Chains A and B, each alone.
Chain A
Amino acid sequence: MIALLAAPTFIDSLLLKLFSEQTVNYVIWPFIQIGLVIVITTGWVAYATYLERKISAFMQARLGPMRVGPWGLLQPIADGLKLLTKEDFVPENADRWIFFVAPYIAVVAAFIVMAVVPFGPDWAVITDVNIGVLFVLAVSSVGVLALILAGWSSNSKYALLGALRSSAQMVSYEVSMGLAIIGALMFARTLSLSGVVGAQASNSIWFFFYQPIGFVIFLISGIAENNRAPFDLPEAESELVAGFHTEYSGFRWSLFFMAEYAAMVVVTAVATTLYLGGWYFPFVYKLETAGFHNIYVALSVFVFLAKAGLLLYLYFWLRWTLPRFRYDQLMDLGWKWMLPAALINIVVTAIGVTLIQGLDGWGGMHTIKSITDGLALTLSGKAIAIVFGFGNLLLTAGILSLINWRSRDFNLKKQRRKIRLVDLPKGKPAVAPVASETV
């Protein structure tokens, strides 16, 4: 393990013998990082499918994949090989060019976001863009384009309906997703994803505690944006057969599949970064001060993957337990619940942050440590922020109830009725059981 972690230094010295320092730093290393991230993400995606199948099997009282390799561990590889060798079928009147290109857009849009996700400190980040959050939102919304193009070019009504649904769904949930992030950014004071993690690390707190509502909205919108159950309307198999990828088969279908899982990984990674402290874990930092830099980075990456993995488990859990929303109900949830909640969250957070700043130095109170590297709060400042965050839950619940109390779906549990049990009078038997056994 230690030898492996010493490898970067070794490779670095080796590369420096071959190329100039600038080439090594700005060309060779990024390529190695990109390659690593693609390999790791693909592996993650592949084994996410395996995990999903195992977890669903566990929930459904069965075993899941067991035949390929021990405990079916080689199943994703077998699946991949199968999909690669399948016929690449194109429907007769399809728009061939767009039909071919659409899956690539999906997969590229999903994978490219990985470039800015901080998997860990130092060398575990490919690029630290100073507008990382915007980059994530912008690029992941390009993914919608792939769905629309795929649905349109297939020349199939099911695919078209699926594409229309997905475009409407993604556009409406992106709004609340973008708004939900703003609350966390008010504390981070930067758009760089590494900066957000840094703000949480230097503050020794997860933004989840400041922003419980923001976290929930982000997750729900993320699930909706990924078209995962219970929001998997674009590919609702019971209505639209397979939605926008009805006509796809073989490798191109697997690209869509990979894009879906990669997008899930991205959303969980961003949620971890923004709300769960990213790679930050309380005691791991001591390794850095003790001088084990590479071990510290590797452990941080592990922490990050573990947190994101837990959120991924939530995805699976929801998918295998909840029924599917209907299209209009999904829109209701997006526009009448998520969006107002996100707006309320922004307003309340803004008031909270202003209050904390105003209280600093007022009556001997000391709420803010520094404002340079994120909003670093003292203990009392943190307490105020947390109270605001969780108090916001009540406020949001109240306002949302006010907005929605007239809608049909507001209090369905109250609408739940009991059925009557009636003992009907017995009629004349059509067949009278014979009293005597006559044989």
Chain B
Amino acid sequence: MHQVEIATTRQSLMDAPEMTLNMGPQHPSTHGVLRVILKLDGETVIDLDCDVGYLHRGMEKIAENRMYTMIAPYWDRLDYIAAVSNGLVWVETVEQMMGLDVPRRAHYIRTILTELNRIASHLLWLGTHALDIGAITILLWAFREREEILKIFERQFGARLTCHAWRVGGMPNDAYDDFAGDVKRFVDNFPNRLDEYETVLSENRIWLSRTVGIGVISGEEAIAIGLSGPALRGSGVAWDIRKARPYAAYAEMDFDVPLGENGDTYDRYLVRMEEMRQSRRIVKQALENLPDGPVNAKVPKLLKPPIGDYYHSIEGPKGEIGCYLVSDGTQQPWRVHVRPPSFINLQALKQMSIGHLVADVVAIIGTLDIVLGEIDR
């Protein structure tokens, strides 16, 4: 493979001073209110700094003054694209501190819905990432499929985006009547649609030239920064919490983990596309083996986890989303800390972007798949 090194000249051209460009917080492709301060020589990025916090809500501090059940809705608004996954971290952490036995059926339905949420999140990523690179039509196609998932969510949880999905100890209510039918219809339909997207992008010459070799990060560097999720797997590191520390019903599911090789934007794109296929596979399995029974454990009226601290994390669509919880034995946690995948993945932006052009910075922000609700908390 011939790879062209883009020369980074520290010495500016023709006595022109370096230009500082503020990208954001109001910018169409920083995926929210991220502010990226770029130092440019012509259009080449020589330095870059991220300014976050425009969406800060003090969620971790608020959590210290709420009861355990009341904190859950705040979690839905962290990564608002994947509210269902976020909610799961919180309830599972509390369940484990309390030592609750969650019924199998609840675990299975949780698995189905979090995987659907992963697909929805990846579809939104696909649409916006393609839009950043200039392919507009994919966005609307991806939203068409996402709509199907959101309809399932709406029927199940009563909300489309910030669904308050779970309760400590199980689920607020059992799956609705035609849940299996709706999910099955989606699962049957989805692979064709995914192939359609791949025909537009995967072998598109312009798409390849915009993504191959852009934003390269090696496996070692990725681990050093603490990347997780598809961004880590794109660099070829075999790490998936669904496999390493299975939660919900993942221990009983059969699925593969896609791994990239070069750690560039194109590999991350392929990894996410394949992840959607694997998610579909998991949903299909879980739906076929969906056990009967109750969906709620016996939960005390007042949640008072024993004194101590606990860390639990799941494989969210963006990466490892974790919850560090310190309990002092009262109804309110003493400290709640979120391990936000987007925030930590964003740290790789500088390393990935330097030496590339402005257009690539946009592509790299897209490939990191960040959500500002989670970065700023």
Residues of A within 8 A of B (CB): 56, 59-62, 157-158, 161, 229-230, 232-233, 236-241, 319-329, 406-410, 412-413, 415-435, 437-439
Q: Is the CB of B203 within 8 A of A417?
A: no
Q: Is the CB of B102 within 8 A of A434?
A: yes
- B101 interface residue (CB < 8 Å to A): yes
Q: Is the CB of A416 within 8 A of B256?
A: no
24 cross-chain CB contacts under 8 A: A157-B21, A237-B28, A238-B131, A238-B132, A239-B362, A320-B137, A329-B206, A408-B209, A409-B205, A412-B209, A416-B208, A416-B266, A417-B266, A417-B267, A422-B257, A423-B256, A430-B96, A431-B246, A434-B101, A435-B104, A437-B294, A438-B101, A439-B103, A439-B298
Q: Is the CB of A238 within 8 A of B208?
A: no
Query: A319-B136, A322-B206, A323-B210 are known contacts; what are 18 more A-B pairs with Cβ within 8 Å?
Result: A61-B140, A158-B21, A230-B206, A236-B359, A238-B131, A322-B204, A323-B133, A323-B134, A324-B359, A327-B359, A328-B357, A413-B208, A416-B203, A416-B208, A417-B267, A424-B238, A431-B107, A434-B102
Residues of A within 8 A of B103 (CB): 434, 437-439
Residues of B within 8 A of A417 (CB): 261-262, 266-267, 270
Residue of A nearest to B201 (CB): A323
**Which of these, B2, B28, B130, contacts A406 with CB under 8 Å?**
B2
Among listed B53-61, B247-255, B329-337, interface-contacting one: B247-255
Q: CB-defined interface of B275-296 with A at 8 Å, one 1/0 digit per residue?
A: 0000000000000000001101
Residue of B nearest to A242 (CB): B28
Residue of A nearest to B102 (CB): A434
**Which of these, B28, B205, B274, contacts A421 with CB under 8 Å?**
B274
**Which of these, A161, A408, A415, contacts B358 with CB under 8 Å?**
A161
Q: Is the CB of B296 within 8 A of A439?
A: yes
Given the known inter-chain contacts A238-B134, A238-B362, A408-B4, please indicate yes or no for A413 contacting B207, CB distance below 8 A. no
Residues of A within 8 A of B107 (CB): 431, 433
- B66 interface residue (CB < 8 Å to A): no
**Distance in Å: Cβ of B336 to nearest Cβ of chain A:** 18
Q: Is the CB of A426 within 8 A of B251?
A: yes
What is the CA–CA distance of A417 and B245 in the complex, to the nearest angstrom? 30
The 4 closest A-B pairs by CB, nearest first: A324-B134, A412-B208, A60-B140, A424-B243
Q: Is the CB of B2 within 8 A of A410?
A: yes
Residues of B within 8 A of A410 (CB): 2
Residues of A within 8 A of B207 (CB): 323
**Distance in Å: Cβ of B300 to nearest Cβ of chain A:** 14
Q: Is the CB of B92 within 8 A of A431?
A: yes
What is the CA–CA distance of A59 and B183 in the complex, to the nearest angstrom? 26
Q: Is the CB of B257 within 8 A of A424?
A: yes
Residues of A within 8 A of B209 (CB): 325-326, 329, 408-409, 412
Residues of A within 8 A of B297 (CB): 438-439
What is the CA–CA distance of A434 and B271 in the complex, to the nearest angstrom? 32
Given the known inter-chain contacts A239-B362, A424-B257, please indicate yes or no for A430 contacting B213, CB distance below 8 A. no
Q: Is the CB of B360 within 8 A of A326?
A: yes
Q: Is the CB of A61 within 8 A of B141?
A: yes
Q: Is the CB of A415 within 8 A of B261?
A: no
Given the known inter-chain contacts A412-B208, A422-B238, A424-B244, please indicate yes or no for A230 contacting B134, CB distance below 8 A. yes
Given the known inter-chain contacts A422-B257, A439-B298, please indicate yes or no for A427 contacting B246, CB distance below 8 A. yes
- B161 interface residue (CB < 8 Å to A): no
Residues of A within 8 A of B208 (CB): 409, 412-413, 415-416
**Distance in Å: Cβ of A135 to nearest Cβ of chain B:** 33
Given the known inter-chain contacts A61-B140, A408-B3, A422-B256, please indicate yes or no for A236 contacting B357, CB distance below 8 A. no
Residues of B within 8 A of A239 (CB): 29, 358-359, 362
Q: Is the CB of B1 within 8 A of A415?
A: yes
**Distance in Å: Cβ of B47 to nearest Cβ of chain A:** 16
**Which of these, A61, A327, A413, A422, contacts B43 with CB under 8 Å?**
A327
**Distance in Å: Cβ of B48 to nearest Cβ of chain A:** 14
Residues of A within 8 A of B3 (CB): 408
- B151 interface residue (CB < 8 Å to A): no
What is the CA–CA distance of A62 and B245 in the complex, to the nearest angstrom? 43
- B200 interface residue (CB < 8 Å to A): yes
Q: Is the CB of A430 within 8 A of B245?
A: yes
- B319 interface residue (CB < 8 Å to A): no
Q: Is the CB of B95 within 8 A of A431?
A: yes
- B27 interface residue (CB < 8 Å to A): yes
Residues of A within 8 A of B258 (CB): 419-422
Q: Is the CB of A323 within 8 A of B43?
A: no
- B318 interface residue (CB < 8 Å to A): no
Q: Is the CB of A326 within 8 A of B203?
A: no
What is the CA–CA distance of A427 and B238 in the complex, to the nearest angstrom? 13
The listed residue with most B CB atoms (<10 A of its CB), out of A56, A321, A419, A425, is A419
Q: Is the CB of B141 within 8 A of A60?
A: yes
**Distance in Å: Cβ of B241 to nearest Cβ of chain A:** 8
**Which of these, A408, A409, A416, A424, contacts B202 with CB under 8 Å?**
A416
